[in-house]
């Protein structure tokens, strides 16, 4: 399951390339529409963090 | 401006614009946990389709990101080049071609319809082809993304149940 913060519960399994395989597996469990929503939430979280750090700059991406 | 890829895709689909979703968002829809809000599309460059695209770009207040006073015209959209636009729903890159001159006609067989919400079907580039494009680009940012994309493809191919 992917939590609100986008992190799967429990410990992450990483591949030899360092990729978080647990996160990929959790993301694959979602429907494409849910993946789009989750991606938007991550982007919003990052935007909010950036705004908190630098006082509101947003590159739109 | 609040980016909303879904709103952008809805506007394009409701206007019956033929396009293939490429770029990071196509990988997200195939299961790659990436963070992106940019919508990258390769539209059919058939004249009637470009007219529909131009109309919807007008409704979306699309302008060039680096020169917001400029609006795209039919000749820009008909070119194989990239139109990097900003719209009221976020960034939209209209790509005449990608990779080695691959346009809508070349990529349509390497894409599939994906439901992105509320019955909205979008033609999305396959993850295999997206990885191949990234491999060919070879830029630092593209290379950095490859392990995640390849691992996603590997996991996607495993039987789940």
3-state secondary structure chain A: CECCCCCECCCCCECCCCCEHHHHHHHHHCCHHHHHHHHHHHHHHHHHHHHHHHCCCCCCC
A-B Cβ pairs (cutoff 8 Å, strict) = 85
Whole-prediction pTM: 0.89
Tokens matching residue B76: 């820009």
Rounded-to-integer distance, Cα B151 and Cα A56, Å = 35
Could you report the per-residue pLDDT of A10-41, keeping only the tens digit for each?
677 887 888 899 999 999 999 999 999 999 99
Could you report the per-residue pLDDT of B52-66, keeping only the tens digit for each?
999 999 999 999 999
**Model confidence at A59: pLDDT above 70:** no
What is the pLDDT at residue A4? 47
Query: In the CATH scheme, what is the code of domain B5-152?
Result: 3.30.460.40
**Model confidence at A53: pLDDT above 70:** yes
Rounded-to-integer distance, Cα A12 and Cα A45, Å = 21
Task: Write the burial class of residue B144 (CB in 10 Å: 0-12 exposed, 13-18 middle, 19+ buried).
Answer: exposed
* ipTM score assigned to the predicted complex: 0.89
Residue of A nearest to B116 (CA): A33
Q: What is the mean predicted confidence (pLDDT) over B8-31?
A: 97
Mean pLDDT of chain B: 95
What is the pLDDT at residue B111? 98
Q: Which of residues 59-118 of B touch A (CB under 8 A)?
A: 65, 86, 90-91, 114-118
> Domain extents for chain B?
5-152
- CA B23-B48-B38 angle, 5° bins: 20
What is the pLDDT at residue A6? 53
Residues of A in CB contact (< 8 Å) with B are: 6, 15, 17-21, 23-25, 27-28, 30-33, 35-40, 42-43, 46, 60-61
Contact B28 A17 (CB under 8 A): no
Contacts of B90 in chain A (CB under 8 A): 60
**Model confidence at B47: pLDDT above 80:** yes
End-to-end CA, chain A: 26
């Amino acid at each position: 399951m992917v939590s609100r913060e986008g992190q799967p519960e429990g410990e992450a399994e990483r591949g030899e390339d360092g990729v978080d395989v647990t996160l990929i597996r959790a993301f694959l469990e979602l429907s494409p529409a849910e993946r789009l929503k989750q991606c938007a939430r991550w982007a919003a979280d990052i935007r909010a963090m950036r705004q908190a750090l630098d006082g509101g700059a947003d590159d739109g991406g | 401006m609040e980016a909303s890829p879904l709103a952008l895709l809805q506007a394009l689909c409701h206007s019956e614009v033929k396009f293939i979703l490429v770029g990071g968002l196509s990988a997200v829809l195939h299961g790659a946990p990436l963070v992106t809000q940019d919508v990258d599309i390769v539209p059919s460059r058939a004249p009637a389709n470009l007219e529909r695209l131009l109309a919807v770009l007008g409704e979306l207040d699309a302008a060039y990101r680096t020169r917001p006073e400029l609006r795209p015209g039919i000749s820009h959209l008909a070119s194989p080049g990239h139109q990097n636009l900003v719209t009221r729903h976020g960034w939209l890159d209209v790509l005449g071609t990608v990779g080695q001159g691959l346009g809508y006609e070349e990529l349509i067989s390497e894409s599939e319809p994906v439901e992105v919400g509320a019955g909205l079907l979008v033609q999305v580039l396959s993850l295999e082809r997206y990885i191949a494009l990234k491999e060919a680009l070879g830029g630092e940012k593209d290379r950095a993304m490859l392990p995640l994309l390849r691992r996603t493809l590997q996991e996607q191919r495993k039987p789940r149940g």
